[in-house]
Every structure is written in structure tokens, then in C-alpha cells.
Amino acid sequence: MWAMNMNHDNSSLVQTLLRQTHFEPEWTYNMRREMQEIVPNVFLGPYLVASRPKRDYLQSQGITHVICVRQNIEANFIRPNFQEDFVYLILDIADSLNENIIHHFGTVFEFIEHCLRSGGRVLIHGNQGISRSATLVIAYVMQKYNLSTKDALFLVQSKRLCVGPNLMFLNQLNEFEPIYKAKQQQQGFNQQDEATAMYLPHSFVDPFQPYLHIQNPKF
């Protein structure tokens, strides 16, 4: 499987992340019916773990937020069952080769980060926890830890072996990698510019404007 080859530069980071949460060395078929902690406080699983009989279980695991991934036609059996107990994000996503899942990556990242900043724990689930929800978790891990698609997929599959995004979702993850890295680089440049501006001598006329020495000014 192509996903099992890590980039050398990130291999130590991935191994560190694997050790930060429970790691089950031997995967069994029944484990696909459970949720797994992929990175600290971020869980991936099937709808079964968010169904009506599972409220006490989710609370015992400290879950505070849930991302429910479903298509409109699945709304009758994939439901946000505990909206009085957990904060929900409900996404309309089909497990289809025509689905534009990349459109949701930013929303999911912000939702998870808000959860973690508040000290919460989040479960991301679709129907089986294999393709749609797994793709969203992979995209989150890529952004959070600055990983390639292959390394993020390796990490998620190491915790939940049944993960298998459809081919178009994998293509969109590959397309997303240079996009998020360019965005992070731009944010880094902006932060550097802001830090530089703080240490420039400022204009006596406008204290909020940096004073720039211009040679041979023209009036």
C-alpha cells in the first residue's frame, strides 16, 4: 500500500504522534466498530459509536464535540442524537467520486481547533469511519502537524487500519498539500513582516506608521 511509505524528514514526528495515544499493535475486524484516538483528543470512528445507546460511553471518554458526516439521503439513520449533550458540526458530504470534500477542510480544522482550545475532545464519524470522515481527519492532521498526504494517511491508518478514502478524496488530499503549505508559508511571511514593523523607528507624524528612510526624497 503506497500510504505506508513515510517521508524520512517526518518519520520521527509521525512515530512521536503514534506514541502519544493508545496504539493497538494487532488490528481485529471488530475494531472497525469502535472509535480510535488518532492524535491527542481527536477520535475517528463509525456512526455506531455515536448512536443512541452510546451517550454514556461518549461522555465516559470525555467527548465534548462531534462532527457528523452524512449525505442528505442518510439523514434518517445518521443523526446527531445528543445535541443537548455535545457540540455538533453536521456536514453534507457524499462518498462519491464527484464530491468536492476539499471545500470542508477549513471548516473542520477550525471546529477541531476550537474544541481543543476549550479543553474538549472531538469525535469525527460518517457511516463507517472509513472514507469521508477519515479524509477530513487526514486533512486536519496534515495542517496541524505540517505533514504530507502520505505521512498523514500512514498515521491515521496506523491507528484505524480500515481507513480507505475513495480515489477522488485521495486526489483532493494530494491537491490540498501544496495549497495548505503555501498558505502556511504566507502566514509566516506576514507574521515576520509584522514583527519587523514593530522594531522599526516610527514616524513622528503618525506613530502607527513605521518611519522609512528614503534616499533622495522628492517633494
Place of cell 472514507: 131
Q: Is the pLDDT of residue 62 over 50?
A: yes
- What distance in Å separates the CA atoms of residue 29 and residue 69, rounded to the nearest whole number? 22
- Domain membership of residue 197 (yes or no) is no
**pLDDT tens-digit series, residues 1-29:** 334 455 545 678 888 887 877 767 788 99
pLDDT for residue 75: 94
Residue 61 lies in a domain: yes
Domain with 108, as residue range(s), is 9-22+32-183
Q: Flag whether 216 is in a domain.
A: no
Q: Is residue 27 part of a domain?
A: no
pTM of the model: 0.81
At residue 185, the pLDDT reads 85
Domain count of the fold of the chain: 1
Reply yes or no on whether the pLDDT at 192 is more than 70. Answer: no
Q: Between helices 132-145 and 149-159, what is the axis angle to 10°?
A: 120
Query: Could you give the angle at the alpha carbon of 109 between the alpha carbons of 173 and 13, nearest 5°?
Result: 70
CB 105 within 8 A of CB 173: no
* Nearest Cα residue to 149 out of 135, 162, 131, 130: 135
The CATH number of residue 89's host domain is 3.90.190.10
215 assigned to some structural domain:
no
Q: What is the mean pLDDT of residues 59-77?
A: 97
Q: What is the pLDDT of residue 18?
A: 78
The verdict on residue 198 lying in a domain is no
Dist. CA 35–CA 140, nearest whole Å: 17
Question: Does some domain include residue 108?
Answer: yes
Q: Looking at the domain assignment, is residue 211 inside a domain?
A: no
Residue predicted with more confidence, 200 or 185: 185
